[in-house]
């Protein structure tokens, strides 16, 4: 796609991909312009050292005074109740106030700059006098570090591509925005499963008796259209009923 000039958008992947070495997955995709939306492997979640004083956690850089319970926030369980979901999202939103926000896009070598959250108006901190004029609806750093690291002494810092190379992605993990975006992967997997289901469309090997890529591609496109048509019509997944619809549609949709 990239070689043909096609713009690469979001790439959704589970932890089996994101856990790979960065040079075998995340880094090449970023160079193509892709925006990663991925689940993080349990071994990659949580705090992973620091960079110029900022805490590396779940693909982002956070203020060194970020409360520990917020940094330990994990993904929401699929069986979570509405009240648990709301509480989780509130904590994720609070954690976002402590994140060092991007001030630039990646350059040709993958370097970019991020800024102090207090300097950008997301946080109240006594080290940034202007931030103390912000409203009390924003969190306040109660114990700023005495020996100032670079992320506190400077308005911004430069981040190398090797920092959070495996885990950096489009949305904050595990925020509500990430959960909603990553849920698209479930819809894609469900579409593939119905396309390959022998009781419905059945595009498994040998399903089409035509030779050549073009003919098979036309057949596959028709199968996808039929699947979407069934979804929009809200038809039940009845094997006999679906077979009738598919056979009629294929006969009408394909050239002689």
Can you tell me the distance from the alpha carbon of 155 to that of 138, in angstroms, rounded to the nearest whole number?
A: 19
Question: Is 63 domain-assigned?
Answer: yes
Can you tell me the distance from the alpha carbon of 223 to that of 185, in angstroms, rounded to the nearest whole number?
A: 20
Indicate if 121 and 220 belong to the same structural domain.
Answer: no
Question: Is 224 domain-assigned?
Answer: yes
Question: Is 25 domain-assigned?
Answer: no
Choosing from 113, 141, 169, the residue where a domain stops is 169
Indicate if 146 and 243 belong to the same structural domain.
Answer: no
How many domains does one find in the chain?
2
Can you tell me the distance from the alpha carbon of 111 to that of 88, in angstroms, rounded to the nearest whole number?
A: 32
Indicate if 213 and 152 belong to the same structural domain.
Answer: no
Q: What is the Cα Rg of the chain in Å?
A: 24
Question: Is 230 domain-assigned?
Answer: yes
Residue among 66, 187, 191, 50 nearest 125 (CA): 66
Residue 98 belongs to domain spanning: 41-169
Indicate if 75 and 153 belong to the same structural domain.
Answer: yes
- Tell me the pLDDT of the chain (256 aa) as tens digits: 889 999 999 999 999 999 999 999 999 999 999 999 999 999 999 999 999 999 999 999 999 999 999 999 999 998 999 999 999 999 999 999 999 999 999 998 999 999 999 999 999 999 999 999 999 999 999 888 888 999 999 889 999 999 999 999 999 999 999 999 999 998 888 888 888 877 777 887 777 777 888 888 888 888 888 888 887 887 654 444 444 444 444 444 444 3
Report pTM: 0.79
Question: Is 212 domain-assigned?
Answer: yes
Indicate if 46 and 154 belong to the same structural domain.
Answer: yes
């Amino acid at each position: 796609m990239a070689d043909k000039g096609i713009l690469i958008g979001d790439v959704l992947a589970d932890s089996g991909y994101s856990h790979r070495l960065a040079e075998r997955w995340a880094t090449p995709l970023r160079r193509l312009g892709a925006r990663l939306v991925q689940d993080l492997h349990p071994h990659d979640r949580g705090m992973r050292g620091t960079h110029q004083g900022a805490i590396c956690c779940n693909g982002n850089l956070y203020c060194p005074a970020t409360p520990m319970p917020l940094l330990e926030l994990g993904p929401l369980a699929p069986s979570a109740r509405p009240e648990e979901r709301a509480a989780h999202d509130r904590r994720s939103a609070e954690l976002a106030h402590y994140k060092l926000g991007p001030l630039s896009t990646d350059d040709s070598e993958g370097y970019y700059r991020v800024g102090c959250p207090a300097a950008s108006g997301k946080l109240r901190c006594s080290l940034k006098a202007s931030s103390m004029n912000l409203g009390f609806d924003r969190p306040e750093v109660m114990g700023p570090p005495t020996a100032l690291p670079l992320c506190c002494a400077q308005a911004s810092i430069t981040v190398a591509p090797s920092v959070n190379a495996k885990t950096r992605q489009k949305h904050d993990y595990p925020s509500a925005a990430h959960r909603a975006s990553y849920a698209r992967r479930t819809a894609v997997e469900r579409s593939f499963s119905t396309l390959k289901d022998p009781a419905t469309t059945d595009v498994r090997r040998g399903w089409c008796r035509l030779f050549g890529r073009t003919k098979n591609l036309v057949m596959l496109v028709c199968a996808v259209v039929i699947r979407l048509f069934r979804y929009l019509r809200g038809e039940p997944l009845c094997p006999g009923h679906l077979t009738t619809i598919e056979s009629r549609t294929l006969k009408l949709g394909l050239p002689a």
